[in-house]
Amino acid sequence: MSTTAALPTPAGVSGKEPDPQLHRIETIPGIGRALIVCTPIPLGTRILCEKPLFTTTSTSYKVMNADITKKLRALPVESQRQFLSLHNNFTGTLYPFTGTFITNALPCGPDSDTAGVYATICLINHSCSPNAHTNWNNALQKETLHATRPIVPGEQITICYTQTWPSYDRRAYLKHQFGFDCACTLCQLPAVLLKRSDARRSEIVSLDKLIGDANLLMSNPQEALAACHKLLIVVNEELWDGGSTPLLARLYYDAVQITITHGDQARASVFAQRAYEARVVCDGEDSPETERMKGFARDPSSHKNFGSSKKWKSKKAQVPKDLGDEEFEAWLWRVEKR
């Protein structure tokens, strides 16, 4: 797929109150409970916006279990039942409440030591090629769920429990952490196609690590930006199915940081706009991170790294207006003419 393609525009109601009629809870033989779509769900629709039953902070298992026990006793009986009905992959190896919590908990933000469990969101099953994404909205103090591609009636809503790893790493993690062998459509690909997918995902991991090198950002921004461009191409090949992914938002923000660090407000504003659009789909308009990307699109000079270097100095108004798609992408990514 060409990298000139615009990000899809959310057709749903991202950021608004979810429609409870969008899905139903159904028990699937061999899988357990799942969320099944009742009506067509457009890209970017907010499917759920849920307050945690309770949260706790990662400490020793003994301390965590005592905290969970205290908070569980304070809940209404129905909420207690909802927690106790969740799967525990660590029966016999951890305190029962702790095992249930660790199996199901979602972090309250990136790198947060606090996590929460949810009556409905914790019923959502895994796919290595998911159709939805969960995100902690710190402003709302709730976990949100958005459709990252159009979802049709009868389809199961899924999220990804892993990183964008090759199949052998995903399967090992899922077996250890959740106790199941993944049989999603991606993992069930014919061997030849799965090998190609694994190669792309290995490249995604390698490029992501390279882009995260702060020394490279300063010493060779051209190489860092080229790595972002290559990552975009590989992500589109591997993950693009008419939808979006948080990985797109992250790589565009990486491009923002590379360009604005070297004073390039023109390109940074474009990358920030694309990061914003991807965040709207995955996290909603009211997500603090979405709002942050929107702010950088309006004023890239507000980024803390602005002015660290003047190597690529430009003004926001210098974004070219008269280029075709391919020419614009070549300008944006600083692709040298051959």
What pLDDT does 307 receive?
86
What pLDDT does 18 receive?
86
How would residue 337 be classed by pLDDT, with cut points 50, 70 and 90? confident
Q: Which CATH class is domain 20-178?
A: mainly beta
CATH architecture of 191-332: Alpha Horseshoe (1.25)
Mean pLDDT for all residues in the chain: 93
What pLDDT does 3 receive?
45
For residue range 15-63, list pLDDT tens digits in order: 567 888 999 999 999 889 999 999 999 999 999 999 999 999 988 899 9
For residue range 224-261, list pLDDT tens digits in order: 999 999 999 999 999 877 788 999 999 999 999 999 99
Total-model pTM: 0.92
What pLDDT does 2 receive?
40
Mean pLDDT for the stretch of residues 309-327? 96
Spans of all domains in the chain? 20-178, 191-332
Asked whether residue 302 carries a pLDDT value surpassing 60, the answer given is: yes
Would you state the structure tokens that stand for residue 331, as one six-digit string? Answer: 């300008």
How would residue 4 be classed by pLDDT, with cut points 50, 70 and 90? very low
Q: Do domains 20-178 and 191-332 have the same CATH topology?
A: no
For residue range 54-95, list pLDDT tens digits in order: 999 988 899 999 999 999 999 999 999 999 999 999 998 889
**Which residues, in sequence order, are CB contacts of 74 under 8 Å at separation 6+?**
none
